[in-house]
Amino acid sequence: MMDKTLAELAQGLKNKEFSSVEVTQAHLDRIKSNDGNYNSFITVCEAEALAQAQAADAVLAKREAPVLCGVPIAHKDIFCTEGVKTTCGSKMLDNFISPYDATVVKNFKQAGVVTLGKTNMDEFAMGSSNETSFYGGVKNPWDVKKVPGGSSGGSAACVAAGLAPAATGTDTGGSIRQPAALCGITGLKPTYGRVSRYGMIAFASSLDQAGPMTRNAEDAALMLNTMAGFDPKDSTSVDREVPDYTADLNNDLSGLKIGLPKEFFGEGLDAQTEKAVQDAIVVYEKMGAKIVDISLPNSKLSVPVYYVVAPAECSSNLSRFDGVRYGHRCENPQDLEDLYKRSRGEGFGSEVKRRIMIGAYALSAGYYDAYYLKAQKLRHLIADDFKHAFSQVDVIMGPTAPSTAFGIGEKSNDPISMYLSDIYTIAVNLAGIPGMSIPAGFSNGMPVGLQIIGNYFEEARLLNVAHRFQQETDWHMRRPQ
């Protein structure tokens, strides 16, 4: 039961091979006995999960149920969940019990999906290694001395370790795809606006997007069918019909044009990681795909652009955490200024403080035009590069990360080196297009991710391209010991 995919569990529940309570209890037991090794959960919702599973079994027994009814998953602790502690991995929200559900959580509840718990994450989604969490770092199930990636490292680790068959994540600059690559699972960042951000605690509002983290592309399609859709509560949500993402999974890939950007295969890319990616490209060629060399000339600017835009937006979004309305409040403040200073100083970790200060500086009088406005102009050039590329090719491929998982503490004191972990993923967020990472091999015993990038709202094509690769290979079926 523990090795079954989301699709297999859903079919087994439909066929009454086992009950939702049995599946849920099995995963809760596994979390209890194994998560001490990984620290992938902040909150385990045992009582709530079993109650939801009993309700799902009642629905499954009486009538035709939604496809995922009774299947257990985990949610990244950035999604507000009614009656459950929602922390964003921060001391600032350690005492926050959400009074409502995020739209993503609500959609899964309405589909009868069981919530196992809330997964660990980099504080306020700021990090590439899951080492900035107030609740301690997450460990990679393939090697507990290495990081799982971030910020959705808890979701990636719990799926890789078999503690949950699937989990939700969020991606601001690669935070679904990079940990998916480092933990050997499948992760999809949809087009900006495809999935509601309502109730998803904001980091950088023009970049954040929720998506699924699963064992394979078929499961990601099932998750996205539930997650995607227009939400009037989210002003950035796109009112566009949601297709059945499972419908075209088996489409033939003959004639598919794959673009390989020369900028993704240069200096800084680990040699064995590059070999695994190139070997994956060969598999696609054998399936009838055609390789086209392309260029994304402004992609080299994506890291500096991102680290102006994202901190600027975070400095604005996180100003609401002031010790007055909710969240951490300092003891015995002397006056209002003291309340603000000490509550924020005690509640935020060092990486969050660093980004707030960078953002406040970039938005300050005299520097707005020089930094923030210029970064937004460059962002348009990065998006135009993708627009030009997609006039020549159907999808773009390359490495998800420049190397496999690095050691815990290895980059903690070198923020620039840490930021470069997302060098191949950030441009996708700046352009607002969809991208995903799938397992594509190993380097020194650690998973390598292949990134697949598509044009706006072409998630179905990405899932088809990923699924066909997974029918030809077994990298996605490998499990850590």
Please tell me the pTM assigned to this model. 0.96
| 277 in a structural domain | no
The answer to the question of residue 457 being in a domain is no
> Which residue among 129, 175, 196, 237 is the active-site one?
175
The number of CA neighbours under 13 Å toward the Cβ of 326 is 12
Sequence-ordered list of residues with C-beta below 8 angstroms from that of 32, at least 6 positions apart, any chain: 44
Instruction: Report the number of distinct structural domains present in the chain.
Output: 1
The rounded distance, in Å, linking the Cα atoms of 106 and 112 is 10
C-alpha–C-alpha distance, residues 66 and 318, integer Å: 37
Whole-angstrom distance, CA of residue 208 vs CA of residue 459: 17
Q: Identify the CATH number of the domain in which residue 233 sits.
A: 3.90.1300.10
Of 19, 98, 151, 315, the catalytic one is: 151
The answer as to whether 440 is a domain residue is no
Q: Does the residue 41 lie in any domain?
A: yes
Q: Given this model, what pLDDT does residue 334 score?
A: 96
The pLDDT value given to residue 341:
96
Residue 232 counted as domain residue:
yes
Instruction: State which amino acid sits at residue 81.
Output: T
* Known active-site residue 76: yes
CA distance 239 to 182: 34
Q: 456 with 243: CB under 8 angstroms?
A: no
Active site residue 16: no
In a domain, 360, yes or no: no
Establish if 320 belongs to a structural domain: no
CA-nearest of 312, 320, 308 to 348 is 320
Q: What span, in angstroms and rounded, lies between the C-alpha atoms of 266 and 262?
A: 7
Q: Which of 4, 76, 118, 411 is catalytic?
A: 76
Segment 375-399, tens digit of pLDDT: 999 999 999 999 999 999 999 999 9
Provide the residue range defining the domain that includes 197.
6-254
Enter the DSSP assignment of 372.
Answer: I
Q: What is the per-residue pLDDT for 353?
A: 96
Is 421 a known active-site residue? no
Residue 17's pLDDT is: 96
User: Which regions of the chain are under pLDDT 50?
Assistant: none
Q: What 3-state DSSP class applies to 438?
A: strand
C-alpha pair distances (Å), 171 with each of 197, 207, 401, 427 = 11, 8, 14, 12
In a domain? residue 427: no
Number of helices (H), then strands (E), belonging to the chain: the values are: 15, 11
Q: What's the Cα-to-Cα distance from 381 to each of 299, 375, 384, 386, 431, rounded to whole Å?
A: 9, 10, 5, 9, 9
